[in-house]
Chain A
């Protein structure tokens, strides 16, 4: 079956621009997670949704980062006024409740 998909796969933007990263989870998965991964490091938790409810956003670095999942399926991670330090791989994962997480291919964000 279809896995987690993310778009775009690559995004290059200029400093100060806003970007929106999309995650389409596996059908029926109620839990959705966003992680950020720097080169040579493991993924770092950003935020978690249970259905449409954002249960934990403790990993979001600052208030320029926000995420939503309005209908409990597709999620969007938005970064406002991007900075060079925001450059990273952004990964989305989904799972049934409290179960194995399935990761998408990621969006490589480069801020110039």
Chain B
């Protein structure tokens, strides 16, 4: 599985934007970039995913570098409820492979200060 690298932890202030980086230099052409987050004492939840173009949804934005070797999850206005571990995961699109499973790293622990 292609590997991702994320900082162990980041800190933000409430109401400010947060940019969570992820490096994935060995990404293949068919790998989607997925982000999940895990709030304290809960299971992981889906945040966003993309292939090449930047993506926006109600939770966040995903900015993907032109060479696809890195990406950034953007929370436009962090709230206390956004404090969580954020996981950047590569997931293949080919149905014949093992793209069904998610390979989690250690993620980035985001702390949001009031």
Interface residue ranges, A against B (CB under 8 Å): 4, 31, 33, 35, 40-45, 48, 50, 55-56, 59, 91, 93, 98, 100-106
Tell me the number of A-to-B contacts counted with CB atoms below 8 Å. Answer: 52
Rounded to whole angstroms, the CA-CA distance of A48 and B97 in the bound complex is 13
Q: Is the interface of B mostly helix, strand, loop or mixed?
A: loop
Measured CB to CB, the residues of B under 8 A from A are: 38, 42-46, 49, 85, 87, 95, 98-107
A106: which B residues are within 8 A, CB to CB?
43
Alpha-carbon separation in the docked complex, A98 to B87 (Å): 19
Q: Are B43 and A105 in contact (CB under 8 A)?
A: yes
Extra A-B contacts (17), CB below 8 Å, given A48-B100, A93-B44: A33-B101, A41-B106, A43-B104, A45-B101, A45-B102, A50-B100, A56-B98, A56-B100, A56-B101, A91-B43, A91-B44, A98-B95, A98-B99, A98-B100, A100-B46, A101-B44, A105-B42
Tell me the bound Cα distance from A56 to B43 in angstroms: 22
- Min CB distance B66 to A, Å, is 26
Can you name the residue of chain A whose Cβ is closest to the Cβ of B102? A101
Q: Could you tell me if A101 and B46 are in contact, using CB atoms closer than 8 angstroms?
A: yes
Partner of A43, one of B49, B95, B102: B102
- A24–B103 CA distance with the chains assembled, in angstroms: 22
- Contact assessment for B87 and A42 in the assembled complex, using a CB-CB cutoff below 8 Å: yes
Contacts of B102 in A (CB 8 A): 33, 35, 43, 45, 101
Inter-chain contact B107/A42, CB cutoff 8 Å: yes
Cα distance, A41 to B104, chains bound together (Å): 8
Say which residue of B42, B43, B46, B104 sits within 8 Å of A44 (CB atoms).
Answer: B104
- Asked, given contacts A41-B106, A42-B105, A42-B106, whether A31 binds B100 with beta carbons under 8 Å apart, the answer is yes
Q: What are 26 of the A-B contact pairs (CB < 8 Å)? A: A4-B43, A31-B100, A33-B102, A35-B102, A41-B106, A42-B87, A43-B44, A44-B104, A45-B101, A50-B100, A55-B100, A56-B100, A56-B101, A91-B43, A93-B43, A93-B44, A98-B95, A98-B99, A100-B46, A102-B45, A102-B46, A103-B44, A104-B43, A105-B42, A105-B43, A106-B43
Question: Which 3 residue pairs spanning A and B have beta carbons closest together?
Answer: A42-B104, A103-B43, A45-B101
